[in-house]
Amino acid sequence: MDQSSQLREKGNHPADESINFNDFLASLWHSRRIILGITILSATIGAATVYAFPKYRSEGFFQFGGPIPVTVQKSVKDPEPNPGISLANYKRYAAAFNTSGRFIEFSEKNKTLDAKDFEKMRRVFSAREGISQMIEPVFPFTKLDAKELAGEVKDGNNNVIGLRISAINDTPEGAQRMVALMGRYTIDTIIYLIYSDNLRFKQTEITTKITKLDNDIIEEKERLEKFKRKGGDLKQIVNRYPEPASQPSRQIVTINDDNARYLSPVTQLMTSEVEISEANEAILQAKTEQSKNVLLLEYYKKAKDLIDNTRSGEEVLRGLEPLKIEVFKGKNMDDEVIKQVYNSITIDNQNALNIYLEKSRFIAGPSLPENRADRLSHVVGKAALFGLLLSLVFVIGRNWWRENNLSLLK
């Protein structure tokens, strides 16, 4: 083949491609009724689906009303704890309320959802992403805020201060009930985990503290006997040497264990009596602290039995006050030690009820949706686009099949 023929052959390729493209457009134009029909049919089916199977989305913002777990301030000077839940604790709590077993127990106990909605929620829990599609943690600062305030944001400000909860259902009321239930379910799980951690180890902790106080009392009693023996010996010395003992000491010395013996016997006797008084006071304080812990141990033993017999955090929290009354029934409430323990337990329970069940609540929603979750225009547009693509695939495939069959027949 010479060079001129090669150039002519190369020059034919663009024309062939143009012809093929024109043929392709012509084939589509000849099949325009099929393409238009499938597109319209798909859009109609999409619109009918929206009306036949409506979906409603309810949303709500559930806030945590304070620092969780509740922290006890030791003094007025202590800084106020940051509100919300630390990110580490939230991940631990989320691992618990993301399990379907706990949700099934909670929903069966509360009987809030009907069988249909319950089955939908069960499928959500068994999905790979779990309920993360329904519950989203809310932080004090967004990523943009954290970027702008990078120099001012502190570690405590990354606490989770609330949850944005959303749910989709066939009816507006059903979607609203699902959001409300998820709010109660999450805080109930958090309460249960907090008290299961605290109450299960409180008994051992208090028992250990009572034993330690026993040892402290024994040590203070030994010191008391030592000071009493020393005081008795000093009294004998003063009685044997009344004149030197009565003379005032003009020598100034630093008092410690090494040189205290060089003081006058009367001064040492007075010091010994002071030490005896301090030892008696330490014994009295240890015995008072021990009696407080004995009462607390009785209370926490019953509290541990309470949490072992239920899986609901709200039940545990509301059951602590009647349990306290049962423990202190028959006790002498005029005794200041008993009354102090009683009041401390009351304050703890009231703070917990305030933080967990009153301040932790929905401050927005759960909303009762008025419009469908899926906008009709969006659904129809997507369905029409799908129908268009499907019709093009059908027409191109049919033309290709026809061409191949014709070539085989020739």
Cβ distance 289 to 213 under 8 Å? yes
Round the CA-based radius of gyration of the chain to a whole number and report it. 41
Q: What are the residues facing 62 on neighbouring strands?
A: 163, 362
- DSSP summary character for residue 69: S
Q: 268-291, pLDDT tens digit by residue? A: 677 778 888 888 898 999 999 999
Residue 348 — very low, low, confident or very high, per pLDDT cuts 50/70/90? very high
Q: Which tens digits make up the pLDDT trace of 378-392?
A: 767 887 888 888 888
Find out whether 222 and 298 touch, Cβ atoms under 8 Å.
no
- % of residues, the chain, pLDDT over 90: 29
Tokens of 386: 């799908």
Examine the pLDDT at 33 and tell me if it is beyond 70. yes
Give me the pLDDT at residue 157, please.
Answer: 66
pLDDT in tens, 199-248: 888 888 999 999 999 999 999 889 888 888 877 877 777 777 666 555 55
Q: What is the pLDDT of residue 252?
A: 44
Give the Cβ contact number of residue 219 at 10 Å.
Answer: 14
Higher per-residue confidence, 409 vs 397:
397
Residues ≥6 apart with Cβ < 8 Å to 271: 255, 260, 263
Phi then psi for 67, rounded to 5 degrees?
Answer: -70, 125
Average pLDDT value for the chain: 80
Max distance between CA atoms of the chain, in angstroms, equals 147
Question: For 147-193, how does the pLDDT look when each residue is reduced to its tens digit (9 = 90+)?
Answer: 665 555 555 567 899 999 998 888 888 889 889 999 999 999 999 99
pLDDT at 248: 56
Specify the pLDDT at position 2.
Answer: 47
Q: Which of 33-42, 239-248, 358-367, 372-381 has the lowest mean pLDDT?
A: 239-248
Total residues belonging to the chain: 410
8 has pLDDT over 50:
no
Look at residue 407 in the predicted model and tell me its pLDDT.
Answer: 61
Residue 76: pLDDT over 60 = no
Summarize the confidence of residues 47-75 as an average pLDDT: 80
Strands 162-169 and 56-63, by their bridges, are antiparallel
